[in-house]
Amino acid sequence: PCSVCLHPKTAQKLHVDKKKNLKLRMGRKSYSFPLQQDDRIAEGYINIPAGVEQTQGLGGLSDVVEVLI
C-alpha cells in the first residue's frame, strides 16, 4: 500500500507520532494511509506519493491538506 511520510518533529507537533495510519482530507475527500516518519522530509510538510491509484482523487500538488486526528 501507498504510505505518507512526515518528519518526526512534524508528527510530534500533530500528535500523530504514535499512530500507524494517518487520515488526510483534501477538499471533500478523505483517505487513510499508512504513516512513515522520515527525517529527510522537510519539517511541516507531508510527502504524499503522486501517480498511484490510492492518491489520484486527492487534488493538486500544492493543495491544502488537513490531517484528521
Q: Share the mean pLDDT of the chain.
A: 86
Please tell me whether residue 11 adopts helix, strand or coil conformation.
helix
Q: Do residues 11 and 45 make contact, with C-beta atoms less than 8 angstroms apart?
A: no
> What are the tens digits of pLDDT across the range 32-58?
899 999 999 999 988 888 777 777 767
Look up the pTM and report it.
Answer: 0.78
**Whose CA is closest to 4, among 60, 13, 16, 15?**
16
Q: What is the pLDDT of residue 19?
A: 92
Q: What is the pLDDT of residue 29?
A: 79
The predicted model gives 11-26 an average pLDDT of 91
Q: Do residues 37 and 43 make contact, with C-beta atoms less than 8 angstroms apart?
A: no
**SS3 per-residue string spanning 15-28:** CCCCCCEEEEEECC
